Amino acid sequence: GCRDRRPEPVRRTRMLMGTIVEVVAFGDRKPTLAAIDRALDEMARIEELMSPRRPGSDLARLAAARDFVTLSPETARLLRLSLAINRRSGGAFDPTLGALKRLWDIEGEHPAVPDEAALRRALALTGPDRLLLDGDRARVAAPGVGVDLGGIAKGYAIDRAAAVLRQAGITHASINAGGDLRLIGDRFGRPWRIGIQHPRRQGEMLAILELEDAAVVTSGDYERYFMADGKRYHHIFDPATGRPARGCQSVTVVAGDAVRADALATAAFVLGPKRGLELLRREGVEGVLVAADGRTLVTEGLKGRIQWR
Ligand code: ADP
Ligand code: MG
Ligand code: MG
């Protein structure tokens, strides 16, 4: 059996999508490394296609055009999925928040709390009706509307990397993009042990999950933020107010694929713990939500499987 010959894990890291991506896979060293490189190349390709800031990317062309532009079929598909999740989350997940992201500049050089007038102007450039999709063709409703897949593209890239590894015959692997991950099979005879970061104690785990064949994606307010007047301004916006969502410190979603986990983690974060938990249940995924006051909520399916720290 496979227990007789437990191969060494092969690992490689690369900086992608603004974070460190680590792939660990089991198999013979040379072909496994080659497969990992192809999986990382695939993530780099998706980053190039979907980053709004890269000249020539699908989203940069979409923002610049006055008329319909033809997108790659996969960008169009991801936009369609994003709009579907927008509807299913009551608008909480919104792929048209580019103007808000520019205004707040949370991850940029000059993050600042905007004044009311600027906020209203940016909000007027957001909303699912500001993105017109017709098959693989799309256009924005007005100049200044920004389409931003930052809440879902990393999950999609992780799924694509998993598909590349599987095609190479790899049956035990993990792809970890800054804490968002996808597991293929188990850790060669044992489960993967996945830590959920404590949102207020840096470097400490809130809980551990033992999992196989799953995606685990977290949205939190503790990595990309700035402080002003003792308040934390982070990068997940409530589309209704144009301001950072206030109900949660973090949401971790466990699902079969990372693309849905990514979008649903962002959406549940915006909805807050109670309605967020309801969304996860409705969507048939599992999750852990940490409310703004530090209370934790867990879906039924994780209750027996979570080890609290
Ligand atoms: P992370 O950046 O850690 O992957 P998320 O998956 O929650 O966290 O994505 C946050 C990013 O998604 C933001 O930087 C922004 O680009 C975009 N975003 C912010 N608010 C929303 C929202 N309500 N719906 C969809 N995308 C959002
Ligand atoms: Mg997300
Ligand atoms: Mg994310």
Atom 27 of ligand 1: nearest residue by CA position:
151
Quick one: which ligand is closest to 235's CA? 1
40 and 64 both lie in a single domain: no
Sheet hosting strand 296-298, strand order edge to edge: 9-16, 19-26, 173-177, 180-184, 215-220, 248-255, 286-291, 296-298
Q: For 46-56, how does the pLDDT look when each residue is reduced to its tens digit (9 = 90+)?
A: 999 999 999 99
Nearest CA to 156 out of 192, 185, 127, 180 is that of 180
Tens digit of each residue's pLDDT (9 = 90 or more) over 179-197: 999 999 999 999 999 999 9
pLDDT higher than threshold 70 for residue 152: yes
Domain-terminating residue out of 110, 140, 170 = 140
Token output for 106: 């949370």
With beta carbons less than 8 A apart as the criterion, state whether 259 and 250 touch: no
Asked if 156 and 135 sit in the same domain, the reply is no
CA distance 270 to 264: 10
Residue indicated by tokens 């894990």: 9
Q: Please give the average per-residue pLDDT across 186-210, as a whole number.
A: 97
Q: Name all contacts of 238-242 with Cβ < 8 Å and 24+ positions apart.
A: 238/92, 238/270, 239/91, 239/92, 239/94, 239/97, 239/126, 239/127, 239/270, 240/91, 242/100, 242/119, 242/120, 242/122, 242/123, 242/126
* Minimum-distance ligand 1 atom for the alpha carbon of 239: 23
Ligand 1, residues at Cβ distance < 6 Å: 93-95, 97, 101, 148, 150-151, 154, 219, 235-237, 239, 262, 265-266, 270
Domain co-membership, 161 together with 228: yes
154 Cα nearest atom in ligand 1: 4
Asked whether residue 229 falls in the same domain as residue 284, the answer is yes
pLDDT of 3? 55
pLDDT confidence of residue 6: 76
Instruction: State the residue range of the domain holding 106.
Output: 53-140
Considering the domain architecture, whether residues 210 and 118 belong to the same structural domain is answered as: no
In this structure, which residue's CA is closest to atom 8 in ligand 1? 219
Tens of pLDDT, residues 268-294: 999 999 999 999 999 999 999 999 999
Q: What is the CATH number of the domain that holds 68?
A: 1.10.3980.10
Q: Is residue 231 part of a domain?
A: yes
- Total domains in the chain come to 2
Residue range 63-87, pLDDT digits in tens: 999 999 999 999 999 999 999 999 9
Pocket test for ligand 1, best of 82, 219, 259, 266 (most atoms within 8 A of CB): 266
Co-location of 72 and 202 in the same domain: no
Q: How many whole angstroms separate alpha carbon 3 and alpha carbon 6? A: 6
